Amino acid sequence: NLPDVIYFKDRESRFTRINKAHAKVFGLSDPAQAIGKTDFDFFTDEHAQQAFADEQEIIRTGQPILAKEEKETWPDGRETWVSTTKMPLRDATGNILGTFGVSRDVTERKQVEVEMQKAMKAAEEANRAKSEFLANISHELRTPMNAVIGLTELALATGLDSEQRRYLELVESSANSLLALINDILDFSEIDWRKFELESTPFSLAEAVDEALRPLSIQAYRKGLEMAYGVSPRIPSALLGAPVRLKQVLVNLVGNAIKFTKQGEVVVRAGLESQEAKAVGLHFTVADTGVGIPADKLEMIFEAFTQVDGSMTRRFEGSGLGLAICAELVGMMGGRIWVESELGKGSTFHFTVRLGRVEGAACPREEAPRDLLCGLPVLVVDDHAASREIVGEILRHLGMIPTLAESTETALAVIRSAQDSESPFRWALLDAQMPGGDGLSLAEQARRIPGFSPAILMMLPPHDAGREAARCRELGIKDYLTKPVRESELAEAMVRALDKSASAGEGHAQVRGSAQELGRVLRILLTENNEVSQVLVTRLLEKRGHEVVVAVDGVEALAALENTNTVGFDLALLDVQMPRMNGLEVTRAIREKELNTGRHLPILAMTALALGSEEEGCRAAGMDGYIAKPIRANDFFAMIQRVAAQPTGAGAAAESTRRAQGEPHHKPVFDKVRFLDRLGGDEMLGAEVVGMFLEECPKLMKGIRQAFAQQDASALERAAHALKGSLGDMVAFQAFDAARNFEQMAREGNLGNTGAGLAILESAIDRLMTELRRQEMKPA
Ligand code: ADP
């Protein structure tokens, strides 16, 4: 009476006995009717064949088949499923007489499973279709949105009365919010669909953080918030990962922090959590002093389309997608995201990621300015604790000795007492905006302290830097930085300040070794792997009108020298201690090659090891001179003048032929010397002008493209003319020429040719923008 099927078979797989349940499955009224029959009498051949083979195998090997799920196919087309166990049937002495087995019908369970799989597949399909639809529709939406935004921008640039302007500005800002929303949705649907893969490229974390947050800092300061970010110096400077996505997470979190904070500060920190041979684990925090999040909503906000309070949407626009996107991205980067918050006090968002390490990457950031700045005392005055501390960390990392003061009074007291000490401050880094006496008035008061010596650097809020910079200039403060302060900029500004105070005493010697004095521009190959020394030496040389090409090590230097496409060099400056190939080896290689050409490239060694024996080594290797680091401008140029006065090298010869032929290519992309000359040598003003140009130029180009698209010759001529004017002001010869030609073509109504003209102009502008950025002629 067992409901399971039970049977016994002989060695030929003939039934010898079956139970009642089995007879019923076979449609027999009596189990005895099955005796002598085989599976071939009941099932399809296909099924019976398989069963027969299984049983013969059991008889041959004596091995049972346990709980095998089997499909049974019947002549009438039915399919059933059983879970079956088959065993050898033995007599008392162990001889195998046949087989016996038990099967349980699992057809129903199987059917449910199949249904479930079908349902799951359908659900996945539907979800995929939804995401695909979202992705497509978002793309479709973006195209007209770009037109709306672009045309609104253009319309805003025309003559409008104030009412029209106000309306259009509203259109512009609404269109921008709508586009941001569409972008969010697109992103989310793409992540959901797993359409994109994370890239893996080498990048610098400090730079990525800065790029992501600097634009937001303007927004923060404009709102009256303080903002600071610090990247732990323990984090390797070169990492492998998806900087674009990492920046997206930071922008989202910091954007939220600014949005939900009325007063106080937003502080971002990146720390090293773990470190292995091939990977690092990083931990970021974004802390604000804003409205906070109720405890019961702390997890919910990471879900898509959720906000703490639906009614807040009216107050704070947003889609509720930002954090869901962050959570997905962080997950894809092997980390997690969470938040701690206290209502009314603020929130701290945490997230972790795992990133790859770049093997054998040199860390110029870590070595950078040590030799110049190391061990020198500096005063930092800032009322915001987080900013003060982060600046302190940066300075300590640069090897300096910071003293932190939180107010004007403390600062004055500290300055007074340090004045008479063994080591007075070399720099005072002042926050321009402090309650109860700002940095500028502090500077004035400090100046009145007898014997006050530190170089003053002002830290300005980014949204107001222009105006504040003017005030700084009035007070005779030479240099400033915009907040949040960044390591590389701070180091450079400090080195610059040192350089200024050094060259201030030089008097007339300043022009020594300059292009004017020598009567020619020297083309100099500088090989130096220390970033700050690179900048410093390049600046020194460029200030005197020379042209500098930088190589970071010996191998690159040799490559630059061999590159026959470039004109030769008049002088090589070689750092002696370099990775891969040191200065002496490079020199030997150069001299060996020169045996064939009969030329002689003057080579000067630069070394921080001030040992007499070093100099002998340099000379023995074939160098012409030797400059000790830290470099003193006076000696440096005296040396350059001495070597440059020698019979000229092949480079100089090539240079003069090239000049004689008036090769057009030589027109500089941007003549910084003449540009600054026009501005009376005011570098800060220069940076401002360049800043304005960098903003204005893309707009002018847009106007040109627009006019070109509409084939409007007169608009094209006007736009090209305007651009040409700006380029002239910038002393940007190549681009100026391109714009002039383009204007000419437009004037002649020669629109057929302007396509090529436009391409030439675009590439000249590209080169100019790159050059301006490279020369760091952009405001901080
Ligand atoms: P939204 O685009 O609406 O800002 P998010 O997913 O970025 O979407 O955020 C979801 C919700 O989480 C926000 O609407 C807000 O209610 C809450 N939230 C996020 N960040 C903060 C923060 N720093 N302070 C307070 N609330 C926050």
Print the SS3 string covering 266-306. Answer: EEEEEEEEEECCCEEEEEEEEEECCCCCCHHHCCHHHCCCC
Residues 363, 236: contact at Cβ < 8 Å? Answer: yes
Stretch among 59-63, 89-93, 366-370, 578-582 having the lowest mean pLDDT: 366-370
Q: How far is the CA of 260 from the centre of ligand 1 (A)?
A: 8
Q: Is the pLDDT at 97 greater than 90, yes or no? A: yes
What was the pLDDT predicted at 41?
Answer: 93
Confidence at 762, pLDDT banded by 50, 70, 90: confident
Residues 446 and 458: their CA atoms lie apart, in Å, by 13
Confidence at 631, pLDDT banded by 50, 70, 90: low
E strands present in 165-221: 201-203
What was the pLDDT predicted at 495?
Answer: 81
Q: Which residue would you say has higher pLDDT here, 650 or 753?
A: 753
Determine if ligand 1 sits within 6 Å of the CB of residue 319.
Answer: yes
Confidence at 245, pLDDT banded by 50, 70, 90: confident
Whose CA is closest to 653, among 605, 598, 574?
598
**Residue whose CA lies nearest to ligand 1 atom number 21:** 256
Residues 288, 260: contact at Cβ < 8 Å? Answer: yes
The DSSP code for 672 is H
* Ligand 1 atom with least separation from CA of 288: 23
Residues 292, 343: contact at Cβ < 8 Å? Answer: yes
> Token pair for residue 92?
């008392």
What was the pLDDT predicted at 613?
Answer: 59
Stretch among 172-176, 552-556, 609-613, 763-767 having the lowest mean pLDDT: 609-613
What was the pLDDT predicted at 360?
Answer: 59
- Run of H or E residues at 208: helix 205-222
**Residue whose CA lies nearest to ligand 1 atom number 18:** 256
What was the pLDDT predicted at 567?
Answer: 63
CA distances from 222 to 218, 226, 267, 464 (A): 6, 10, 16, 8
pLDDT more than 70, % of the chain: 86
Half-sphere exposure of 128 (CA within 13 A, CB side): 8
Q: Is the pLDDT at 655 greater than 60, yes or no? A: no
Determine if ligand 1 sits within 6 Å of the CB of residue 529.
Answer: no
Residue 713 CA, chain-centre distance (Å), reads 40
Determine if ligand 1 sits within 6 Å of the CB of residue 318.
Answer: yes
In a mutational test of the pocket of ligand 1, which residue from 299, 300, 305, 307 has the highest number of ligand atoms less than 8 Å from its CB? 307
What was the pLDDT predicted at 59?
Answer: 95
Determine if ligand 1 sits within 6 Å of the CB of residue 301.
Answer: yes
Q: How far is the CA of 253 from the centre of ligand 1 (A)?
A: 8
Determine if ligand 1 sits within 6 Å of the CB of residue 320.
Answer: yes
* Ligand 1 atom with least separation from CA of 292: 25
Determine if ligand 1 sits within 6 Å of the CB of residue 651.
Answer: no
- Run of H or E residues at 591: helix 583-597
**Residue whose CA lies nearest to ligand 1 atom number 23:** 257
* Ligand 1 atom with least separation from CA of 257: 23
Q: Which residues contact 467 (CB under 8 A, 6 or more apart)?
A: none
Confidence at 767, pLDDT banded by 50, 70, 90: confident
What was the pLDDT predicted at 8?
Answer: 96
Residues 584 and 620: their CA atoms lie apart, in Å, by 9
Determine if ligand 1 sits within 6 Å of the CB of residue 583.
Answer: no
**Residue whose CA lies nearest to ligand 1 atom number 9:** 320
Q: Is 689 left (phi over 0), alpha (psi -120 to 50) or beta?
A: alpha
* Ligand 1 atom with least separation from CA of 346: 24
* Ligand 1 atom with least separation from CA of 320: 8
> Token pair for residue 605?
């060694």
* Ligand 1 atom with least separation from CA of 349: 23
CA dihedral over 442, 444, 449, 451, signed as positive or negative: positive
What was the pLDDT predicted at 768?
Answer: 87
Q: Which residue would you say has higher pLDDT here, 265 or 747?
A: 265
Which residue type sits at 509?
Answer: A
Determine if ligand 1 sits within 6 Å of the CB of residue 249.
Answer: no
> Token pair for residue 350?
């945490």
Q: How far is the CA of 384 from the centre of ligand 1 (A)?
A: 25
Confidence at 503, pLDDT banded by 50, 70, 90: very low
Confidence at 645, pLDDT banded by 50, 70, 90: low
CA-derived radius of gyration, the chain: 38
What was the pLDDT predicted at 297?
Answer: 87
Determine if ligand 1 sits within 6 Å of the CB of residue 480.
Answer: no
**Residue whose CA lies nearest to ligand 1 atom number 8:** 320
Return the number of other C-beta atoms located less than 10 Å from residue 150's C-beta.
14
Determine if ligand 1 sits within 6 Å of the CB of residue 255.
Answer: no
Q: How far is the CA of 320 from the centre of ligand 1 (A)?
A: 7
Q: Is the pLDDT at 778 greater than 80, yes or no? A: no
Residue 469 CA, chain-centre distance (Å), reads 29
pLDDT more than 90, % of the chain: 26
> Token pair for residue 396?
């300590």
Distance in Å from the first CA to the final CA of the chain: 91
Q: Is the pLDDT at 37 greater than 70, yes or no? A: yes
Q: How far is the CA of 283 from the centre of ligand 1 (A)?
A: 20
DSSP 112-160: HHHHHHHHHHHHHHHHHHHHHHHHHHHHHHHHHHHHHHHHHHHHHTS--
736-760: average pLDDT: 78
**Residue whose CA lies nearest to ligand 1 atom number 2:** 318
Q: Is the pLDDT at 533 greater than 80, yes or no? A: no
Determine if ligand 1 sits within 6 Å of the CB of residue 308.
Answer: yes
Which residue type sits at 735?
Answer: A
Whole-number average pLDDT of the chain: 81
Q: Is the pLDDT at 564 greater than 50, yes or no? A: yes
What was the pLDDT predicted at 662?
Answer: 35
Residues 567, 600: contact at Cβ < 8 Å? Answer: no
Q: How far is the CA of 309 from the centre of ligand 1 (A)?
A: 9
Confidence at 660, pLDDT banded by 50, 70, 90: very low
Q: Phi then psi for 719, rounded to 5 degrees?
A: -65, -45
Residues 626, 602: contact at Cβ < 8 Å? Answer: no
Determine if ligand 1 sits within 6 Å of the CB of residue 323.
Answer: yes
Q: How far is the CA of 315 from the centre of ligand 1 (A)?
A: 12
What was the pLDDT predicted at 270?
Answer: 95
3-state secondary structure of 724: helix
- Identify the residue whose tokens are 């992705």: 135
In a mutational test of the pocket of ligand 1, which residue from 323, 349, 350 has the highest number of ligand atoms less than 8 Å from its CB? 323
Q: Is the pLDDT at 312 greater than 70, yes or no? A: no
What was the pLDDT predicted at 471?
Answer: 77
- Run of H or E residues at 243: helix 243-259
Q: Which residues contact 215 (CB under 8 A, 6 or more apart)?
A: none
Q: Is the pLDDT at 647 greater than 70, yes or no? A: no
Q: Is the pLDDT at 362 greater than 80, yes or no? A: no
CA distances from 417 to 391, 395, 396, 450 (A): 22, 21, 21, 12
**Residue whose CA lies nearest to ligand 1 atom number 4:** 318
What was the pLDDT predicted at 508?
Answer: 33
Determine if ligand 1 sits within 6 Å of the CB of residue 257.
Answer: yes
Whose CA is closest to 497, among 478, 511, 483, 481?
478
Q: How far is the CA of 340 from the centre of ligand 1 (A)?
A: 13
465-490: average pLDDT: 79
Q: How far is the CA of 313 from the centre of ligand 1 (A)?
A: 10
Stretch among 178-182, 272-276, 627-631, 707-711 having the lowest mean pLDDT: 627-631
Q: Which residues contact 658 (CB under 8 A, 6 or more apart)?
A: 567, 666
Residues 352, 335: contact at Cβ < 8 Å? Answer: yes
The model scores a pTM over 0.95: no
> Token pair for residue 325?
């996107």
Q: How far is the CA of 387 from the centre of ligand 1 (A)?
A: 25
What was the pLDDT predicted at 170?
Answer: 83
Q: Is the pLDDT at 461 greater than 60, yes or no? A: yes
Determine if ligand 1 sits within 6 Å of the CB of residue 290.
Answer: yes
Q: Is the pLDDT at 624 greater than 80, yes or no? A: yes
Highest mean pLDDT among 194-203, 278-287, 660-669: 278-287
What was the pLDDT predicted at 342?
Answer: 93
Residues 513, 641: contact at Cβ < 8 Å? Answer: yes
**Residue whose CA lies nearest to ligand 1 atom number 25:** 292
**Sheet with 571-575, side-by-side order of all strands:** 547-551, 523-527, 571-575, 603-607, 625-628
Confidence at 414, pLDDT banded by 50, 70, 90: confident
Q: How far is the CA of 173 from the centre of ligand 1 (A)?
A: 21
Q: Is the pLDDT at 29 greater than 60, yes or no? A: yes
543-552: average pLDDT: 82
> Token pair for residue 537?
């030496």
What was the pLDDT predicted at 650?
Answer: 42
- Run of H or E residues at 57: helix 45-61
Q: How far is the CA of 307 from the centre of ligand 1 (A)?
A: 6
Q: How far is the CA of 310 from the centre of ligand 1 (A)?
A: 11
Strand partners, 86: 65, 101
- Which ranges in 290-384 belong to alpha helices (H)? 322-332, 364-367, 370-373
Contacts 24+ apart (CB under 8 A), 210-216: 210/486, 211/247, 212/246, 212/247, 212/250, 212/251, 212/254, 213/250, 213/251, 213/254, 213/268, 213/484, 214/462, 214/484, 216/251, 216/254, 216/255, 216/258
Determine if ligand 1 sits within 6 Å of the CB of residue 403.
Answer: no
Q: Is the pLDDT at 371 greater than 90, yes or no? A: no
Q: How far is the CA of 327 from the centre of ligand 1 (A)?
A: 13
Determine if ligand 1 sits within 6 Å of the CB of residue 291.
Answer: yes
Highest mean pLDDT among 391-395, 494-498, 510-514, 535-539: 391-395
3-state secondary structure of 420: coil
Q: How far is the CA of 256 from the centre of ligand 1 (A)?
A: 6
Q: How far is the CA of 184 from the centre of ligand 1 (A)?
A: 14
CA distances from 639 to 518, 536, 603, 604, 704 (A): 13, 17, 11, 9, 49
Residue 484 CA, chain-centre distance (Å), reads 17
Whose CA is closest to 347, among 267, 245, 441?
267
Burial, 628: exposed, middle or buried (Cβ in 10 Å; 0-12, 13-18, 19+)?
middle
What was the pLDDT predicted at 319?
Answer: 67
- Identify the residue whose tokens are 């949105």: 145
Residues 42, 26: contact at Cβ < 8 Å? Answer: yes
- Identify the residue whose tokens are 């450079």: 492
Burial, 142: exposed, middle or buried (Cβ in 10 Å; 0-12, 13-18, 19+)?
middle
Q: Is the pLDDT at 648 greater than 50, yes or no? A: no
CA dihedral over 25, 27, 32, 37, signed as positive or negative: negative
